[in-house]
């Protein structure tokens, strides 16, 4: 993984390169960001740069023996710790092949992606005592090929109180040993670990950056759809890429028709729609819900301006009419219903049950507003 493989974040790359070339590399660093900011690939790219035997001014060379091993995440002096499931005899070694494969396939890998990849749905993922002891054994060895031994701990928030065992090692590591902690929930990490690290904050991507990425990589060709996706992604590049598979005109019609049925209380149509909406599984359903939040958010904006420039003409027309029925008195209740459904979907609830439950909540929230909604919106 080279720095050039990571979209944007020029300031972060420059800071890391400067620390390496000036010989001021902190032995324990915390890469902190929200999901989709590419903090994991950034940590890997930094590790590769440190180990590269033919460093360039702004990147690792990509062709030396060290870089070739990093390309398959199999350098002998690079170690990973990450959440997994299993009994007390299980460690990261039991999942390292899957981890390498999935990070190489999708460097933007999220925790949800990882859970899907190892079929961890409904299982308790953590970083257990055996893995922590394994860290001590790995780092006690001398570096094989590189100047540094590097341990990347992805999602250290899963260490819980057992992480205290690492404190002395993090504070006084063996020579030329570097810890790179990569978190998406800094508030969940033990304060005693944070206090022993140099914190590097990686910002979310802006709407403009995500829109540009989608268009430059030809993931979408329509500027309006790219802008639409960028707003729904909320800075999460991984989410934006996934949304490219669902945010097209059909999802608008699906959402529009479903909302009309929710308002009218047409449960027959709602039940008939269940299989069509959920046949794409939780990923498509989550996209559908995120799209819904996007439209609801736009209804509140439309109360103050005639047209929102990130929507398509059909969406604008719908939103302007919908804003008469979703307003300040009920929007919080509706917004919460969507967010709760997204949360339940991410936690692997039954998609069909979540859909029916949300439909009933919307029926209750929207029905008292006006009797002729279907006529006015059509």
C-beta of residue 62 within 8 angstroms of C-beta of residue 89: no
Q: Which residue has the tokens 């701990």?
A: 153
Q: Taking the domains of the chain in order of start, what are their residue ranges? A: 3-204, 248-377
pLDDT-based confidence at residue 157 (cuts at 50, 70, 90): very high
CA distance 187 to 86: 26
Residue 296: pLDDT band with limits 50, 70, 90: confident
pLDDT band, very low/low/confident/very high, at 370 (cuts 50, 70, 90) = very low
- Contact (Cβ atoms closer than 8 angstroms) between residue 28 and residue 170: yes
Low-confidence winner among 85-99, 241-255, 263-277 (lowest mean pLDDT): 241-255
Q: Does residue 23 or residue 154 have the better pLDDT?
A: 154
Residue pair 181/157 in contact by the 8 Å Cβ criterion: no
Q: What is the pLDDT of residue 377?
A: 53
Considering only residues 163 and 278, tell me which one the structure prediction assigns the higher pLDDT.
163
End-to-end Cα distance, the chain: 51
What's the pLDDT score for residue 372? 42
Average pLDDT, rounded, for the chain: 87
Query: What is the per-residue pLDDT for 369?
Result: 47
Average pLDDT, stretch 186-210? 92
| CA separation, residue 164 to residues 82, 172, 189, 309 (Å) | 16, 14, 11, 51
What pLDDT does 352 receive? 87
pTM for the full predicted model: 0.77
Q: Which is more confidently placed, 329 or 29?
A: 29
Proportion of the chain above pLDDT 70, given as a percent? 92
Q: What is the pLDDT of residue 308?
A: 57
Exposure letters 319-356 (e unless 16+ CB within 10 A, then b): bbebbebbeeebbeebbebbeebbebbeeeeebeebbe
* Mean pLDDT, residues 84-88 taken together: 92
pLDDT given for residue 150 in this prediction: 96
Q: What six digits make up the tokens of 353? A: 């049950």
Regarding the domain delimited by 3-204, which CATH topology (the fold level of the hierarchy) does it fall under? Rossmann fold (3.40.50)
Tell me what pLDDT residue 368 has: 46
DSSP string, 219-282: S---HHHHHHHHHHHTT-HHHHHHHTTT-SHHHHHHHHHHHHHHHHT-HHHHHHHHHHHHTTHH
pLDDT of residue 161: 82
């Amino acid at each position: 993984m080279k720095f050039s493989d990571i979209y944007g974040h020029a300031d972060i790359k420059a800071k890391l390169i400067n620390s390496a070339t000036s010989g001021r590399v902190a032995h324990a660093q915390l890469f902190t960001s929200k999901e989709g900011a590419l903090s994991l690939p950034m940590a890997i790219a930094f590790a590769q740069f440190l180990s590269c035997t033919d460093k360039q001014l702004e990147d690792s060379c990509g062709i030396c023996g060290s870089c070739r091993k990093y390309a398959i995440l199999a350098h002998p002096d690079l170690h990973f710790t990450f959440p997994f499931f299993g009994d007390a005899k299980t460690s990261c070694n039991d999942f390292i092949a899957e981890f390498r494969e999935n990070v190489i396939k999708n460097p933007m890998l999220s925790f949800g992606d990882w859970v899907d990849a190892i079929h961890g749905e409904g299982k308790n993922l953590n970083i257990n005592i055996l893995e922590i002891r394994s860290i001590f054994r790995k780092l006690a060895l001398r570096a094989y090929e590189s100047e540094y031994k590097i341990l990347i701990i992805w999602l250290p928030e899963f260490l819980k109180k057992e992480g205290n065992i690492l404190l002395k090692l993090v504070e006084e590591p063996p020579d030329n040993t570097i810890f790179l902690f990569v978190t998406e929930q800094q508030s969940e990490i033990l304060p005693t670990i944070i206090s022993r690290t140099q914190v590097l904050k990686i910002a979310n991507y802006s709407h403009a950056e995500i829109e540009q990425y989608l268009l430059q990589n030809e993931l979408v060709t329509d500027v309006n759809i790219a802008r639409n996706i960028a707003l729904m992604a909320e800075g999460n590049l991984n989410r934006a890429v996934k949304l490219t598979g669902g945010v097209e005109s059909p999802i608008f019609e699906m959402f529009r028709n479903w909302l009309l049925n929710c308002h009218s209380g047409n449960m027959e149509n709602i039940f008939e729609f269940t299989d069509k909406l959920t046949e794409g599984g939780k990923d498509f359903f989550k996209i559908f819900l995120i799209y819904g939040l996007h439209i609801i958010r736009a209804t509140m904006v439309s109360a103050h301006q005639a047209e929102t420039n990130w929507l398509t003409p059909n969406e604008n027309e719908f939103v302007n009419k919908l804003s008469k029925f979703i307003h300040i008195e009920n929007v919080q209740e509706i917004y919460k219903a969507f967010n709760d459904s997204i949360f339940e979907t991410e936690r692997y609830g039954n998609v069909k049950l979540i859909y029916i439950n949300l439909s009933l909540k919307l029926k209750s929230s929207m029905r008292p507003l006006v009797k002729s909604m279907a006529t006015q919106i059509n």
